[in-house]
Chains A and B, each alone.
Chain A
Amino acid sequence: MIEKNVRNYVAIAAAAAGLMVGQLALAKVIATDEFEEGSTRPVTLVVLPSQVELVKQRLLRQEAQVEESGELEAHLTAAVAEQFRVHGYEVTVIDASAIANDPTLQELVVDSNRRFSELLTNVGSKLGKSKNVRNREYNAGDEVKLLAARLGVDALAFARMTIIAPAAGVRALNFGMGGESSMLTVTIVDGTSGDVEAYITLPVGRRGRMFGGHDAIIENPAEEMANYAGGTLEELPNADPSLRVEASADEVILDLESLLE
């Protein structure tokens, strides 16, 4: 009986240690096998304008801080792009004014964002997303492929961040504990297949603790956004053009013509 209890304690301790080790890894990269091994890992990518939802949780309501979100979005987009560059990717950033000046590009960006948001809803509501990403169950459709083709890149990166900051009154009601949370996700969507190749987040336990909370973010947005992007993309595999597999259009057409004959 004692031996059984000891075994249980050892098992619990091992599980706890496992969890702690898991937590030590700063970011969580959920990716397809092909992305991991390199054949679908992009070399060139566009970071679309990021979207930040900054919500102040007041006593009576939650209040979207629209103006502050705008400032954070600019810093976050730049920070995410920089992290991709650090990992060897050829990155292009397109900003809202460039998009607004090109009606066709605007259509494609709006369509892609809408489709991606729909997909993110599906991803967000699903447990076991690792398996689904690996099985290529998340596809962002033709909209994303058209945009990637127009921009001439291998993939698109979508960055979405939510920051919930309790106001002083809410914190007081909560005995000064917690209530603050932040979450950044960066998703890489392949421009040829439309598949989600990688979905990268900070692990739950690190959100809003490892990095500065609302006040620090507002005080020093550039630095904090760089920290969040750096932490989230820390484990991103480096770009490696030698591993990527591509076929030219002419080659495909010739192959098919002979196959159909």
Chain B
Amino acid sequence: MRVFKNSLFPLVFSVLLVALPGCDAWAQGESEDDLKGVYGPLELRRSEPNDLIDTASQYNDMFARRSLLYGDSSVLELVRRIGHELAPEPTDAYINYEFYVVRDPSPNAFAFPNGQIYIHTGMLARMADESQLAALLGHEINHAAGHHTILSHRITAKRLAIQVLAGGLGGLMGQLRYSRHLEQEADDRAAFLLQDTPYDPHAITELLEILNEDFEGLDPRIATIWTTHPDPEERIEASRINVADLPSKPRDPDSFDAVVYPLRSLTVRDYIQDDYPYTAIAVAERFIDRYPEDLDFRMALGDAQRVLGPRPAALPEEFSKRDARRNLRDRIRRTRDQRMERLLETPEGIESMAMNLASARATYEGILEIDPGYAPAYRGLGDVYQAEGNDREAARAYLTYVREAPAADDRSVIMGRLTEIRNRLVEEGTDND
């Protein structure tokens, strides 16, 4: 931003603006909302092969370097099978449809202009069946087939002034946000794409409803490209109208479940780890209904109730956008512990803490009633007692856990907690002496 302090900048800027190719269209008032996808061949201009196509491939390498590409073969096979069923013949040499899964719990997906399409693990985990997956892939395929990124990139030049003055990061990832019109176009075409397949086009509306879920009270919600799309309610309604006359098709959630089940468990754990407890509770409850025999989801529910800590058990009805923005700012400025400590300075925080810990304890005890040998429940009880400051009971529960599950992955973590408790109890004993 330093350049704008230069007094010569406006002059130089205006000279450049006139000289820039493509700015004539901007001057004529064309806007991003006038854009329509081009579903035939589209020749790349000037630096676009480098800026858009090569960079897209480089991102794939970067995802691999950062270990973000999910490698489970059955999940990849499912996504790739449906993706290739839906993908049209590429219209340009630079498009090659490829499908990947990215290890990220946020419900998200995105398409690069070279035809590489990525779905987050968190998106797959929250879907119910192959039709919803097909709806999502159909939507993303339309972004690539319609050259939406390239067209949006071109219109960026017309928004030169705004872009420069805002100083925003305008790289390829920044280009993956499309106008309302292109989003609606991708939705509409996805519905019709599904019409000639075994998949139910009504799934697109369900998919948008999943994306519109906001359990956390953050603005923006769990940050994704999708959640920055304009007016989700309007999109849902438009999609509902769009598919109203299309025939429904049979759905098969069981075969989909068999493949994505490990992702469901992983995603709920991710929400707990990433401190999205309301989302974890909502999703865990959904999966408990779906898999009533599965104690892992009950365990995850207990953990999510526990990590709520001094936060209210549910977001207040009157939770405003302003509250949500404040909530988000607070997440950036303060660590989890600092935020919890602040809440514990209020009577409401103390009361919520007691209630949430009681709920978590009831959930863990409920698990032990079903299966007294389910060791993780003792770990959960240990965590509850520790949060209540009851070191002795915490130590008993943790010791039961490490005895019952000597090879548990988190044994070292629990041993760390036991060491801290031991040190406190020794100190306490010394003080009493």
Q: List residues of A whose CB falls within 8 A of some B CB.
A: 49, 51, 55, 59-64, 66-67, 69-70, 73, 96, 99-100, 103, 106-107, 109-111, 113-115, 118-119, 121-122, 125-126, 137-139, 141-143, 145-146, 148-150, 170, 173-175, 178-179, 192-193, 247, 249, 252-253, 255-257, 259-260
- Is A96 in contact with B12, judged by CB distance below 8 angstroms? no
7 nearest interchain CB pairs? A61-B170, A149-B412, A66-B58, A64-B171, A67-B58, A99-B67, A122-B335
Once the chains bind, are B396 and A100 in contact (CB under 8 Å)? Answer: no
Q: A106-B67, A115-B273, A252-B422 are in contact. Are A64 and B6 (CB under 8 A)?
A: no
Q: A62-B171, A178-B2 are in contact. Are A100 and B64 (CB under 8 A)?
A: yes
Contacts A61-B171, A173-B9 given; does A256 touch B66 at CB 8 Å: no
Residues from chain B with Cβ under 8 Å of A252 in the complex: 415, 418-419, 422
The residue from A64, A100, A143 contacting B71, defined by CB atoms under 8 A apart: A100
Q: Can you give 20 contacting A-B residue pairs, CB < 8 Å?
A: A51-B66, A60-B157, A61-B174, A62-B168, A62-B169, A63-B171, A103-B72, A109-B67, A122-B334, A126-B333, A143-B273, A145-B413, A146-B412, A150-B409, A173-B6, A249-B415, A252-B418, A256-B399, A256-B421, A260-B395
A63 to B65, CA, bound (A): 19
Partner of B332, one of A55, A125, A145, A179: A125
Which residues of B lie under 8 Å from residue A60 when comparing CB positions? 156-157, 160, 163-164, 170
Closest to B270 in A: A111
Q: Which of B164, B335, B425 contacts A139 (CB 8 A)?
A: B335
The contact of B6 among A125, A175, A193, A257, by CB within 8 Å, is: A175
Beta-carbon nearest neighbor of B393 in chain A: A260
A257 to B160, CA, bound (A): 70
Interface of chain A, helix or strand or loop or mixed?
Answer: helix
B window 73-108: CB within 8 A of A: 103
Q: Interface code B390-433, partner A: CB below 8 Å = 1, 0 otherwise? A: 00100110010010000001111101101101100110010000
Contact with A along B52-77 (1 / 0, CB 8 A): 00110011011011111101100000
Contacts from B to A (Cβ < 8 Å) = 2-3, 6, 8-9, 12, 16, 51, 54-55, 58-59, 61-62, 64-69, 71-72, 103, 156-157, 160, 163-164, 167-174, 266, 270, 273-275, 332-335, 337-338, 392, 395-396, 399, 402, 409-413, 415-416, 418-419, 421-422, 425-426, 429
| Distance of A168 from chain B, by nearest CB (Å) | 13
Q: How far is the CB of A213 from chain B (nearest CB, A)?
A: 15
Q: How far is the CA of A142 from the CA of B54 in the complex (A)?
A: 38
Q: Which residues of B contact A118 (CB under 8 A)?
A: 274-275
Contact: B66 with A173, CB < 8 Å? no
Contacts of A73 in B (CB 8 A): 65
Inter-chain contact B395/A70, CB cutoff 8 Å: no
A248 to B392, CA, bound (A): 20
A193 touching B416, Cβ below 8 Å: yes
Knowing A96-B64, A106-B67, A110-B67, say if A59 contacts B412 (CB, 8 Å). no
Given contacts A51-B66, A145-B412, contact A122 B333 (CB under 8 A): yes
Could you list 5 further interchain pairs (A-B, Cβ under 8 angstroms) beyond the known A249-B415, A256-B395? A61-B171, A69-B62, A111-B270, A113-B67, A173-B8
Judge whether B66 and A49 touch: CB under 8 Å. Answer: yes
CB A104 to nearest CB in B, in angstroms, measures 8
CA A148 to CA B395, docked complex, whole Å:
23
The residues of A that contact B163 with a CB separation of less than 8 Å are: 60-61
A149 partner residues in chain B, CB cutoff 8 A? 411-413
Structural contact, B399 and A253, CB atoms closer than 8 A:
yes
Contacts of A142 in B (CB 8 A): 273, 410, 413
How many angstroms between the C-alpha atoms of A20 and B421 in the bound complex? 46
- Report Cα–Cα, A92/B11, bound state, in Å: 54
Expressed in whole angstroms, the Cα–Cα distance for A114 and B61 within the complex equals 18
